Amino acid sequence: MPVDTVPYDRAAVLDTEEAIAAYLGEAFSHGDLAVIAHALGVVARARGMTQLAREAGLERAGLYKSLATGGNPELGTVLRVMRAMGMRLSVEKLAASSAKRRRGSHAVSGRSRLRPRRPGRRATG
């Protein structure tokens, strides 16, 4: 006899501000934009995508696209969505061993994640 199952929807369990904050905090702690965008999308669905888009001053379709799997939201979009959720980003210093581990992923190219190489300039290092 087959068992009927339903897909698990994480948005259904994000029913308190504390649960949402904890979920987003965990996503941001990974430092992976895909994880962050996915988590924001889950929370947006839990809150109501249309209402959240309106409060953030964004188009609903654009918000769906930015927060979908494979989406690449701009920092301004992330900040507007966070503000519309009644949350903000904060900064904290990483422990020395953690900071070295994170920097190691770009050590080969010698480039910062935040400063893309300008056209016409050769990479050094």
87-102 pLDDT per residue, tens: 988 888 888 766 565 5
Between 124 and 67, residue with greater pLDDT: 67
Q: Give every CB contact of residue 41 below 8 A, 6+ residues apart in sequence.
A: 64, 67, 68, 71
Q: Is the pLDDT of residue 24 over 80?
A: yes
Q: Which CATH architecture has domain 10-91?
A: Orthogonal Bundle (1.10)
Number of C-beta neighbours around residue 119 at 10 A: 5
CA distance linking residue 77 with residue 57, whole number of Å: 10
